[in-house]
């Protein structure tokens, strides 16, 4: 089925018929047309009319009847019609001009050619008519179809002007390259490098939107590598850029932690669509540059990089305008705990250590293990196999101990309130000590995770502290 056949539906014919009745040229444009050629489904359809797009939108909503809702944004000259699970956006054809210190353009009415030329990339600068006389006709002045075939991201006009006018387009170029697996045209990429500093006028929220789309892509490392190579990364996430490079002392160098991180990120992406797990992978070693030390005996060390990295996560999320809620805390937990399973497999895998890992990770234990398995990037396949076999052993032990001891989301069998009531205590250090002793006894396997055993153990601990129950 050709792209023009794909729009041969009642919805597109209705829009075209209404435009004809108003003597308006009307075209479906941009990403929807691109996705027709890529055979990708989209529920968001953009229309450009020569003349008022708002008037056409209102007439379309009226024609569609009940279930259609029209929202008008007069300041932007646009209107959106929501109909069932589809969103139709209408705008009049326009041309734009920019000032140097803002990405907000001065907008004037224009022709279809004006409208297509102002678009970011050739693959988004195509239109298809929905008017009856030339229904389905493709308008492609910048060879967008050719660039789709060549898998190229290229600007319709001078890329320096395109990116200087609206620097967010630099992020969009990298996002599209990552999502589609396309190559950014050399001249276009060089212009991004020349204009990288212009990204400073873009809001952090808009940048974060693009980063989230990069992180949700099949191979997110493509985007982060491009951000590094064009110079944007130093403005967006300098902590990640600081990880690049290898330092050598006495012939001993450490691995390039930037490229190691991207390998881990892609390993996770192959296993999970959880974007916050992917952020955990990206930031798991973020503190290595600030903890890197040379030790004459041990070589390069990164002591406590997991704990320091966890403390860096809130600031990074705040700077990127990522959510400072449970999502951030989840990433923080992954960064802090990512060394624990590795330490387990390097030593003897004890029940006590596995219980404590289950207790600390809670419901996030499976994602933590996915991250840790992805973190094994050695080129020594024997070593990799050994680590993965040991991780499989840890997973088996987790299942066994969880079935027996119910440690995940563990709640103490005896509460602090009960301890105070039994011994006539007010909130105090003694209550905390008794609770901690019971918890450690369960995690160390001294007693089972059962109430009767916990009460008996509580009395033993209290007796050593010279505490006696009020009603023995």
Choose between 75 and 369: higher pLDDT: 369
Does 163 map to a domain?
Answer: yes
**Residue 285 above 70 pLDDT?**
yes
Is the pLDDT score of 404 beyond 70? no
Q: Which residue range(s) make up the domain with 439?
A: 416-464
Question: Does the pLDDT value for residue 100 go beyond 80?
Answer: no
Exposure on the CB side of residue 172, measured as CA atoms within 13 A: 17
- Asked whether residue 329 carries a pLDDT value surpassing 70, the answer given is yes
Query: Which position has the higher pLDDT, 148 or 471?
Result: 148
29: domain CATH number?
Answer: 3.30.460.10
Domain annotation covers residue 272: no
Contacts of 220 (CB under 8 A, 6+ apart): 178, 214, 265, 266, 269, 278, 282
CATH code of residue 208: 1.10.110.30
pTM of the model: 0.86
Indicate whether 115 and 204 sit together in one domain: no
Name which of 59-68, 145-154, 406-415 the model is least confident about: 406-415
Is the separation of the CB atoms in 331 and 322 below 8 Å?
A: no
- Displacement of CA 412 from its chain's centroid (Å): 35
Q: Domain ends where: 216, 236, 256?
A: 236
**Is 251 among the domain residues?**
no
In a domain, 39, yes or no: yes
Which tokens go with 366? 């499976």
Judgement on whether residues 31 and 115 belong to the same structural domain of the protein = yes
The per-residue pLDDT for range 310-319, each reduced to its tens digit, is 999 999 999 9
Which of 236, 262, 280 lies at the terminal end of a domain, its last residue? 236
Q: In terms of domains, do 161 and 209 share one?
A: yes
Give residue 343's pLDDT band: very low, low, confident or very high (50, 70, 90).
confident
pLDDT top residue among 300 and 352: 352
Q: What is the pLDDT of residues 13-37, one digit of tens each?
A: 999 999 999 999 999 999 999 999 9
Same domain, 208 and 228: yes
Residue 49 lies in a domain: yes
CA dist., res. 52 & res. 17, Å (int): 16
Give residue 97's pLDDT band: very low, low, confident or very high (50, 70, 90): low
Number of structural domains found in the chain? 3
Integer Cα distance of 287 and 302 in angstroms: 8
Q: What percent of the chain has pLDDT over 90?
A: 56
Give the burial string for 309-345 (b: 16+ CB within 10 Å, else e). bbebbeebbeebebeeeeebebbbbbbbbbbbbbebb
Considering the domain architecture, whether residues 194 and 68 belong to the same structural domain is answered as no
Distance CA 87, CA 42 (A): 10
Q: Provide the mean pLDDT of the chain.
A: 89
Query: Is the same domain home to 26 and 158?
Result: no
At residue 405, does pLDDT exceed 70? no
In a domain, 343, yes or no: no
pLDDT tens-digit series, residues 433-469 = 988 888 888 888 888 888 888 888 888 988 888 888 8
Is 55 in the same domain as 128? yes
Overall average pLDDT of the 242-266 stretch: 86
Q: Is residue 88 part of a domain?
A: yes
State which of 199, 214, 236 marks the end of a domain.
236
> pLDDT higher for 71 or 108?
71
Highest mean pLDDT among 287-296, 343-352, 385-394: 287-296
3-state secondary structure of 152: strand
- pLDDT digits 0-9 by tens, 217-238: 999 999 999 999 999 999 999 9
User: 205: how many CB neighbours lie within 10 A of its CB?
Assistant: 10
Max avg pLDDT among 82-96, 270-284, 341-355: 270-284
Q: Does residue 391 fall inside a structural domain?
A: no
Are residue 70 and residue 112 in the same domain, yes or no?
Answer: yes
Instruction: Tell me: do 115 and 27 sit in the same domain.
Output: yes
pLDDT tens digits along 177-201: 999 999 999 999 999 999 999 999 9
| 157 plus 231 within the same structural domain | yes
Determine the Cα–Cα distance for residues 258 and 238; give it in Å rounded to an integer: 12
What was the pLDDT predicted at 350? 79
Same domain, 67 and 129: yes
Question: 80 pLDDT band (50/70/90 cuts)?
Answer: very high
Q: Indicate if 219 and 174 belong to the same structural domain.
A: yes
- Asked if pLDDT for residue 76 goes beyond 70, the answer is yes
């Amino acid at each position: 089925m050709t792209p023009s056949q794909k729009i041969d539906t009642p919805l597109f014919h209705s829009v075209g018929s209404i435009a004809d009745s108003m003597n308006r040229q009307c075209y479906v444009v941009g990403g929807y047309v691109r996705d027709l050629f890529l055979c990708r489904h989209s529920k968001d359809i953009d229309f450009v009319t020569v003349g008022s797009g708002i008037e056409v939108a209102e007439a379309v909503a009226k024609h569609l009847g009940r279930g259609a809702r029209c929202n008008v944004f007069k300041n932007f000259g646009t209107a959106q019609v929501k109909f069932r699970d589809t969103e139709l956006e209408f705008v009049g054809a326009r041309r734009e001009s920019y000032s140097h210190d803002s990405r907000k353009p001065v907008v004037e009415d224009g022709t279809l050619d004006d409208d297509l030329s102002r678009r970011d990339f050739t693959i988004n600068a195509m239109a298809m008519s929905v008017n009856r006389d030339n229904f389905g006709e493709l308008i492609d002045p910048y060879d967008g179809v050719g660039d789709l075939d060549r898998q190229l991201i290229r600007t319709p006009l001078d890329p320096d002007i395109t990116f200087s006018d609206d620097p967010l387009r630099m992020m969009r170029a990298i996002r599209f390259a990552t999502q589609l697996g396309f190559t950014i045209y050399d001249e276009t990429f060089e212009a991004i490098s020349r204009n990288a500093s212009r990204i400073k006028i873009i809001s952090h929220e808009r940048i974060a939107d693009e980063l989230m789309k990069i992180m949700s892509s099949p191979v997110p490392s493509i985007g982060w590598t491009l951000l590094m190579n064009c110079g944007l990364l130093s403005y967006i996430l300098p902590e990640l850029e600081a990880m690049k490079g290898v330092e050598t002392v006495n012939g001993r160098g450490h691995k390039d932690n930037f490229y190691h991180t991207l390998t881990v990120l892609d390993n996770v992406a192959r296993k999970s669509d959880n974007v916050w797990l992917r952020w955990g992978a990206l930031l798991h070693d973020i503190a290595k540059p600030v903890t890197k030390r040379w030790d004459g005996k041990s070589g390069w060390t990164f002591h406590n990089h997991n704990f320091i990295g966890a403390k860096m996560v809130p600031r990074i999320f705040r700077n990127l305008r990522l959510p400072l809620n449970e999502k951030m805390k989840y990433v923080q937990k992954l960064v802090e705990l990512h060394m624990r399973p590795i330490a387990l497999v390097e030593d003897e895998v004890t029940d006590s250590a596995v219980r404590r890992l289950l207790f600390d990770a809670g419901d996030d234990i499976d994602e933590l293990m996915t991250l840790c398995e992805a973190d094994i990037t050695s080129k020594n396949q024997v070593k990799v196999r050994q680590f993965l076999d040991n991780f499989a052993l840890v997973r088996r032990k987790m299942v066994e101990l969880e079935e027996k001891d119910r440690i995940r989301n563990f709640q103490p069998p005896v509460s602090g309130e009960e301890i105070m009531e039994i011994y006539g205590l007010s909130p105090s250090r003694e209550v905390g000590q008794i609770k901690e002793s019971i918890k450690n006894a369960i995690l160390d396997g001294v007693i089972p995770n059962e109430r009767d055993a916990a009460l008996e153990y509580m009395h033993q601990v209290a007796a050593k502290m010279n505490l006696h129950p009020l009603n023995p």
